[in-house]
Copies of this chain bind each other. A is one copy, B any other.
Amino acid sequence: MASAGEVMNNKQVILKHFIHGAPKESDMVVKTGSIMSLTAEAGSNAVVVKNLYLSCDPFMGSRMKKFEHPDFVSFKPGFVSIGMPGLTAWAGFYEVAAPKKGENVYISAAAGAVGQLVGQFAKLMGCYVVGSAGSKKKVDILKSKLGFDEAFNYKEEHDLDKALKRCFPEGIDIYFDNVGGKLLDVVLLNMRLKGRIAVCGMISQYYLSQPEGVHNLLHTIRNRIRIEGFVVFDYLPQYSKFLEVVLDLIREGKIVYLEDIVEGLENAPAALAGLFSGRNIGKQLVVVARE
């Protein structure tokens, strides 16, 4: 293990080119050629930081595309960043969805980094909570480890409308949307009066050349539904509050946080690409160093 003051190989995950579809392992390359010094310049205020973990989040895929927007910058090829799914779950559930005790909450991509926390926050509020995910293993974990009342594998449901009506005979008050597309369309048919849809992500749509059409928006009128998109960066002022409360909850055993840990920076490209095929269970992390 390297420590401050040493000289070592600089292992880097390099983005080879801006991507078009979902990120693939082959869009990145791991390089170890160059030598770097781990010494902070004498007399400067710089410190040397040792990163133990890297975060892998779906939003990183969109930064690998070339697009222009005042609030977002593409990664320059050769640059990797981390996300904050915990604050995302916190802000999206408490601030955007404005939950009330006893409400019916549905979460898609429920075994992901964000969804697992939303479900547990909702249970702590006394809500009835249903999640969907893409494998039997994930569905089992939702029910056995994360305390969801119900869960289903969307890949095995031929009729998603029926699946939702089975889980929510009285309809949905809050939909925490991580996927968008067809599922969102069917959810609109099942929302209760004054229901809220917090749009956190639309992972099913990011890499389609033409996003799917949503046909049931007429239901927003009849049932007075609010659909609201949000971005975690708007809630950074709440970060320390969030951390304080959530770390307490974890210490007290009231919530758990599942992590899917991959060893070694050289495996980061596969871990990132895996997010888009649903490989991970819980938050995807890459261990860069073990101490």
- Report which A residues bind B (CB closer than 8 A): 69, 71-72, 180, 184, 193, 199-202, 205-206, 210-231, 234
A218 touches B211 (CB 8 A): yes
A202 touches B224 (CB 8 A): no
Give Cα A126–Cα B210 distance, bound, in whole angstroms: 38
Taking the full assembly, how many copies of this chain does it contain?
Answer: 2
Closest-by-CB residue of B relative to A181 is B217
Classify the secondary structure of A's interface with B: loop
A215 touches B211 (CB 8 A): yes
Whether A224 touches B234, Cβ cut-off 8 Å, given contacts A213-B215, A215-B213, is yes
For A221, the chain B residues whose CB sits under 8 A away are 199-202, 229-231
Q: Which of A211, A217, A234 has most B Cβ within 10 Å? A: A217
Give Cα A218–Cα B224 distance, bound, in whole angstroms: 21
For A216, the chain B residues whose CB sits under 8 A away are 211
For A200, the chain B residues whose CB sits under 8 A away are 221
Give Cα A71–Cα B193 distance, bound, in whole angstroms: 10
Give Cα A204–Cα B211 distance, bound, in whole angstroms: 21
For A184, the chain B residues whose CB sits under 8 A away are 217
